[in-house]
Structure 1
Amino acid sequence: MAQKNRIFLLEDDVNLCETVTEFLEEEGFEVETAYTGEEAEEKLYENRYDLLLLDVNVPGINGFELLKSARSEGVDTPAIFITSLNALENLEEGYESGADDYLRKPFALKELLLRIESLLRRNFAHKENPRVEIAPGVEFDSVGNALFIDGEPASLQPKELALLKLFLSRPGEVIGHETIYEHLWGYDETPSESSLRTYIKNLRKAIGKEKIVSIKRYGYKYQP
């Protein structure tokens, strides 16, 4: 019997939380819930999930802050924000905090399911085959964190490989400079714009210039 995908749901509306939980469990998922940011933070650090569903306006730590903190601690689980229209005035903040997608309330449960299934398919880190083909003869090993060109390991720095993994986990999405800085540099390091440009240049040489698109004054996008 196949193992169920585990979903973590943060939602302070008890009725909505129960409705979404029942629906997803009927669809074959295992669901764990929390009603406050603090409760969610504790569970995120204690357990491993396949996908996060996070309301933004919850008691205590809000969804943006929760995910940003989790990303800084190395949690790379795909995440969808579920929130009201009023809370989406600053979508940039949501994506900068590390979100992969968002869903406005009220939403259809079927749409939620489609978003979840799409993200789970994209999350290559959980595939049985850890190698992702980027281009003919170019593959990335998501488990070993190594790029192979014609079967030979490419000479890339750890931060360049981390950046490539970030791009591959969010294909077609614009990733802001701040998000990249948070993924590549630790608390005791100072992000470097010039170093990032060098990493981008080296990645383009390795996987193809057209694969990484510059978004002026904002960030970059990996083009599958």
Structure 2
Amino acid sequence: MAAKILLLEDDLSLNEIINEALSDEGFKVSCVYDAQEALEKAYEENFDLWIFDVKVPKGNGFEVLRELRESGKNTPAIFLTSLSMLDDVKQGFLSGCDDYIKKPFDIDELIIRVKNIIKRNFSHQKEDLILLNSSKNISFDPLNKTLYQDKTIINLTNKEKELLTLLLKKRPHFVSIETIFDEIWSLDEEPAIMSLRVYVKNLRKILGKDLIINQRNIGYAIRLENEK
């Protein structure tokens, strides 16, 4: 599954140019054109990266990111803006961004920065693939959220992919049930503990029963073979 990017840019032609360039690189891009749309989309869906313009209708990009950060969302974010003064850059980083790109910009530079931030989100890994089960040779590609046995793709549901990705990002720490619900269920879905248990059961069946552990009243965690 391709990495998902939320793009907030009210300039229609620039939005289209960025969308096309990122899509050509294999990213799945959701485009919005005002601050309210960006907030709604960011709460409804999970993304691997947010790219926000600042001067947009119905608010501004700084306010959008600040609200998302205060709500506990930690998705990496890039500001893409014509605001170039030092105070603007400071405000951007204080709002919680990971990078700040001033307009006008080179589209190739944007792509390089996008790829770097998405990969950096898994920077604790030395390789692109994370080995989950050495005896079965099962590995996970966190960038594309794809599970492999040898070179064959193992099919997972979207929720199973998102759950596995979340646990790997947060390891070795436990992830609470509430956080799991917030991260992998959208606002129009009703989270259910029984559904979560089914996803965990299915992953354990594939990966091995000891890889995903749970602790009552705390949540779930994943412990790799070399980290136990």
TM-score by length of 2: 0.55
Long gaps (5+) in structure 2: 133-167, 176-228
Q: Aligned pair in 2 of structure 1 residues 8, 142: CA closer, same or farther (>3 Å)?
A: closer
- 1:146 maps to amino acid: H
Equivalence for 2:115: 117
Equivalence for 1:48: 46
Equivalence for 2:78: 80
Deviates further, 30-39 or 77-86: 77-86
Q: Does 1:24 align with 2:51?
A: no
| Preserved CA contact (<8 Å) 1:8 1:32 | yes
SS of residue paired to 2:104: coil
User: Using the alignment, how far apart are the partners of 2:124 and 2:65 within structure 1?
Assistant: 20
100, 105, 123: which one aligns with 1:102:
100
- 1:99 maps to amino acid: C
Task: Tell me the matched-pair count.
Answer: 137
SS of residue paired to 1:124: coil
| Preserved CA contact (<8 Å) 2:4 2:29 | yes
Equivalence for 2:13: 15
- 2:113 maps to amino acid: R
User: Using the alignment, how far apart are the partners of 1:57 and 1:19 within structure 2?
Assistant: 18
Q: Deviations over 1:105-160 (max 9, x none)?
A: 111110000000110111028976499xxxxxxxxx7434539xxxxxxxxxx9xx
| Preserved CA contact (<8 Å) 2:122 2:169 | yes
- 2:96 maps to amino acid: G
User: Using the alignment, how far apart are the partners of 1:146 and 1:30 within structure 2?
Assistant: 29
User: Using the alignment, how far apart are the partners of 2:171 and 2:22 within structure 1?
Assistant: 32
SS of residue paired to 2:29: strand
Q: Deviations over 1:3-32 (max 9, x none)?
A: 111111000000000011011111111100
| Preserved CA contact (<8 Å) 1:124 1:130 | no
| Preserved CA contact (<8 Å) 1:56 1:87 | no
SS of residue paired to 1:64: helix
Q: Deviations over 1:15-73 (max 9, x none)?
A: 00001101111111110011000011110100000101000000112000100100111
Equivalence for 2:173: 146
Q: Does 1:5 align with 2:32?
A: no
User: Using the alignment, how far apart are the partners of 2:36 and 2:131 within structure 1?
Assistant: 34
User: Using the alignment, how far apart are the partners of 2:22 and 2:13 within structure 1?
Assistant: 14
Q: Report the Cα offset of residue 74 of structure 1.
A: 1.3
How high is the sequence identity, in percent, across the aligned residues?
43
User: Using the alignment, how far apart are the partners of 2:170 and 2:97 within structure 1?
Assistant: 22
Q: Aligned pair in 2 of structure 1 residues 44, 24: CA closer, same or farther (>3 Å)?
A: same
Q: Deviations over 1:77-125 (max 9, x none)?
A: 1100000044664221111111000111111110000000110111028
| Preserved CA contact (<8 Å) 2:36 2:58 | yes
Q: Aligned pair in 2 of structure 1 residues 96, 130: CA closer, same or farther (>3 Å)?
A: farther
User: Using the alignment, how far apart are the partners of 1:109 and 1:73 within structure 2?
Assistant: 31
Q: Aligned pair in 2 of structure 1 residues 21, 87: CA closer, same or farther (>3 Å)?
A: farther
SS of residue paired to 1:24: helix
Q: Aligned pair in 2 of structure 1 residues 129, 67: CA closer, same or farther (>3 Å)?
A: same
| Preserved CA contact (<8 Å) 2:84 2:102 | no
